[in-house]
Structure 1
Amino acid sequence: MSVSGVSNLNNVLQQLQSTAAQAGAKPTSAPTAAQKVNEGPDKVDFSNALVAAIDKIDSMKQSAVAQGHAFERGDAGVGINDVMVDMQKAGLAFEMGVQVRNRVVNAYKEIMNMQV
């Protein structure tokens, strides 16, 4: 996964926000601490979950790249098999993120096309 992949996901988020603003939706701000307390443990904010997932994907990529650099330097305890497995995990996580993004965009388009 490349840095451009994460920036692509951020671009999609910005596009979704701008489309929502054009549709007349009010942009939401980050919840305050008081609002989080009132939500309770069962409620999850979608935007926070999405940002956490993107951060997780990015950290997997950074970890795989760091392990690749450690292998290139010849650090003890870093095998090529570990590097390849971590690179594949990061790649699959990125692909999953892209698929989730595609489904969210499709769902949003369907909702926007509904007649009320």
Structure 2
Amino acid sequence: MFIENINHQNINTKFNLLDAQKKDSENFIDYIKIALGEISKNQNHAKIDSEKFILNQSGISLNDVMINLEKSSISMQLAVQIRNKIVSAYQEIMSQQI
């Protein structure tokens, strides 16, 4: 069995790798937060437009309302599918034997 010498360079290299992994995970988390914020914004926009259309305010057409509702629906479906893929990947990783 080979035991690696402990020196300053090896320790720094390992910490740099850990920092890089941490930054990557933070970037992924930030990306997810931004994407969920956009989904929420789409849903709120569709809700407001549909309420305005129902109340006959500000001249919003049915076409605009339907397009916004579909954008909202599609973005939510995409988010659910991405979540399903992430959960599936996590379960696959957890089921692997070491």
* TM-score, normalization by structure 2: 0.70
Which residue does the alignment assign to 2:90? Answer: 108
- Specify the alignment match of 2:54 in structure 1: 72
SS at structure 1 position matched to 2:49? helix
Dislocated runs of 4+, deviation >2 Å? none
Is 1:83 aligned to residue 62 of structure 2?
no
Same amino acid, percent of matched pairs: 29
- Alignment of 1:55 onto 2:37: yes
Cα distance between partner residues in 2 of 1:109 and 1:76: 49
Return the structure number with greater helix share: 2
Query: Aligned residues, how many?
Result: 76
Unpaired segments ≥5 residues, structure 1: 1-34
Partner of 1:99: 81
Taking the TM superposition and a 5 Å limit, the aligned residue runs for 1:17-32 are none
Larger RCO (alpha carbons 8 Å, 6+ apart): 1
